[in-house]
Structure 1
Amino acid sequence: MATSTLIICSLCQEDNETSTAVTWCAECEVFLCSECQKHHGRSKMSKNHQVMSIHDYQNLPESMLNIKNNCEDHDLKYELFCGFHDCACCTKCIKDKHDNCKGLVSLGEVVGNIKSSVFVSQVKTDLINLHENLKTIKLFFSENLSALEKQKLEAISRVHTMRQSINNHLDKLEESLLDDIGSEFTNIQETIGNIKSEIDSKTDQVEEKQKDFSKMVEFSTDLQTYFGLHEVEKVIKQEEQFINKLKSADKLREKKMKVDCFDLESTVRCTKEFAKLSICLSPENLQLKTKGESQLQSHFKNPVLSIVKPVIKQRFKMPKYPVHISGCQILPNSDIVFVDQEKNSLLLFNNDGVFVKEIMTFINTPSDICYVRQREVAVTLIDRQKVFIIDVERNKVVRRTDVDGRCYGICTYEQMMYVIVDANSVFIALDFDLNIENLIPIVTKSLSRIAVFGDRLYCTHSIDNSVVCYSKEGEKLWSFNDEIRFPFGIDIDRNGYVYVACNGSNSIISLSQDGTIKEVIISEDSGVNKPLALTIDRELSVLVFSNENGDSFFLSI
């Protein structure tokens, strides 16, 4: 924030005079004394400029003072807004960087009435929720450490009590077990301590952002608020990604220490250990306030698809041999895994579209793929009626399970996997250890792919040329079949829009959550030719799809 020192009028200073400034013109970016302010207010060019008092100016957050009205590259005033690149631009920027961008709109239309928009309220709520989540996580780790401390003492006590009932033959085993307990606790304590330190730092940063946020909304100009909100939103997104990484790495599942004691009295002289140390995780992650996937889109992207058609950003360089891509999945590091039915293999690409390696080859035909956790993906096999968990770094099957029927589409949602099993017309819900948690019977057969969002399951029915929506109880809620042919790959973005690869229509379409609104997102003119596989990264708002012949594309949505 600016200090409350005396500020000199910019115009007077050019004439070597030292009149005290009383106002600041955000558009001219000059300080004005009372006399210059009169002329400024009467001038035809500047009478409608936004002017604020020096007091208000000095209350602006430091980050707001760095936001300029002119383009840094061309020193021309920002006049337009590019929805695809999500940035302001001057007239020269259009020629240099936005010549192929569609849907450029006036900057005034974008930032007008920004302070009264839903976006302000949304970012404020997200900032509050983020701060509360960080405090909740900090308390969670403190309480977990306290509980672990008690459990450690209880475990040691049980070990000593048991040890007293047996003979000296167990001395070495007791010492080894106690070392394990202490070592495991120390490792956990160090890990949690490191995370708590990081949480402390992030909490301080968010608290500072909260202070700046209130001042920004109260004192800054519309343009400053616009850019300021974007900066706050970036911080929120970064910290939400940090929290999501904690979740995906199982850091927010409570650790419990216990010692399972064995009945060793009868076999004490031939045993090698008398208890087993294990660290257990609670079934669920710590409950936090989330941003909400069904939340309204931001003020600047609402809805982007009606203003700007997505543009292909990257084309994948497929291997020279023939491929038939039936499924794909974006990993957290933005690498992409493709299911190739031509060679029954999994292919790994980086986000620059470059082939990295063949992860593994199956004897039977793989169907679809989804992300599980850390470095693991799940793959369905049609002929073997199995679901495999694959470690993509080690190129290895780490878990598998048999399923009663041919497996087709598979997806992940909130720590569960959902699989289409055709023989019995059911959706199977599996946990990440491949235990069956639920069977959802449905009346429809021959479904192709599945995506889950909230309490709804969305499927493609390629034979019937339709997209079908079900409740998690298996009730059919709606069906869409208007001018689409052979819909196959399906996924959902963070706003609840349903995206479908229409193989027979040579297009990618988007549907509203209730199936009443359809829009062609990208078509044959842009390289779509018999698309099959489709996947979306909801955090990054990017989509990857693959044509039947393997031509694959990466685009922003």
Structure 2
Amino acid sequence: MDAGKFCSGCLRDQEQNDAAAWCLDCQEDVCEACAKAHKRINPPHKVMPLNDENVKGPSFNHMIQFCDVHTDQKYVQICTQHDQIICELCVEEIHANCNAVKPIENFSKESENGAWIKVLQKEMINLDGDLHTLMRIQTDMIPQLKERKKEILKQLSFVRQQIDAQLDKMENDLIADLSKKYNTCKEMIEQSNHSTANKRSDLQCWIKNLTKTEESRDQVQIFQAIKVIDRKLKEEKSSMNKSQQISIEFHTPDINDLLMNFMSFGEISVIECVNVELLQALKHDQPMNESEISNVSDSSLREGNIQCITAFSTPIFGTDVEIERGCFITNNRLLLLDIDQPFLYVCSFDGSGVETIQVDQKPWDVALIDTVSAIITFQNKGYRILDLSTLTLGQYLKPEAPGCYAVTSSQGQIWIDTGSFAIIQIDINGNVLRTLTTKHEIKSICSNDTGYIYYVSNEVQNDKIYCIKAGGEERDNNLYVSPIVMTPCIFNSASLRINAT
């Protein structure tokens, strides 16, 4: 029995039983008990021991013979335009407009399968090593995850301590404020009480003196006493009516609102990001060496003499970055556009030395103008000129056109697709010098030193390259398109050009 392999059927029933065989019909591992059950099915399933060297062999044969899209159809044709082997239904439904479809038998006779087998074997060995590395890295993730959990628990404890400390401070501040206001109120009450006691003492004296004044029978003095005492009594009664109750209150916040605004210490989330360690360890992105390339003489792949010299993965720019357009610039650098986000990237040919330029909206296309400047288009907003020495962008310029989309530049001539079946030639200040109409909606555009302009259409299933001559005449250009390139796209460059014949 293979260590680590469990019966697929038992796993679905939440049981872990060691796998002992492979069911060719179900294409899954089975234990001894399930193997017997599979053999008793009518018609019986073909079950092979795991130690049989041919186990899973028919699965491989099925994979290489039957179509991925139409799983009950066999591969019978090859579309050299898309470099895909296809079934008859694929020819009718997907590749109906392709003009480079022929039987596999005819093509396989022309191919040098031996050279490609060696290349594939090397790539599979490299991939196997990469998968082994990935398994090691994934295994290491569990203890790393455990350590991360401990760190987060410490962070939670720290947050709790900070919150407790803040609550203690708030409580102590309120207690101190309560004591201060209590003492203030107490002092005010004591002062009022002392004043009231003085008034009562005065009143008692007035009572005694009024009696004496009455006994004196001095009518003038009695009249004066009556008037003064009456006024004083009214004043004291009025003052007493205005006497205020002094107390202290605690205005508590609404507990529900308080809890609503303080729902948690934080948030735990699962982060999936690029595994830098894995990217550094992978081998299969390395280009084939010259000897491997020279062994491949298949005409459908060698025509055009295109070779991969260097390559790198876009995660070096960040997550969810898709690069579709760019151009070569000075000092052996690339200027690349993110098609989904408002960013430009400048880097060396090997992807090192990345510099990120943020813009206010997603760019559409880019082209090199000269050794010190490049032009970037922004659809309806126009275009901006990038200073390549400082990597700073100029202001928006908007020519008299519906929009600015695909762009190319050669020999000082700047051509921009307006998005409405027309291209315009402009100067660097946005003045329109010339307008040419096109037969098709443009996806990408490129010009050469002779004044010829080439473009590919944005139409689905249209893989042609169109040429506009210097005089404005447009024609289909029967240029070779590699079957590896499923959607033609022109990479603007001062050194990568298509020369007219």
Same topology, TM > 0.5: no
Q: Which has the higher contact order (CA 8 A, sep 6+)?
A: 1
Tell which structure's C-alpha radius of gyration is larger: 2
TM-score, reference length from structure 2: 0.31
TM-score by length of 1: 0.29
- Select the structure that is richer in strand: 1
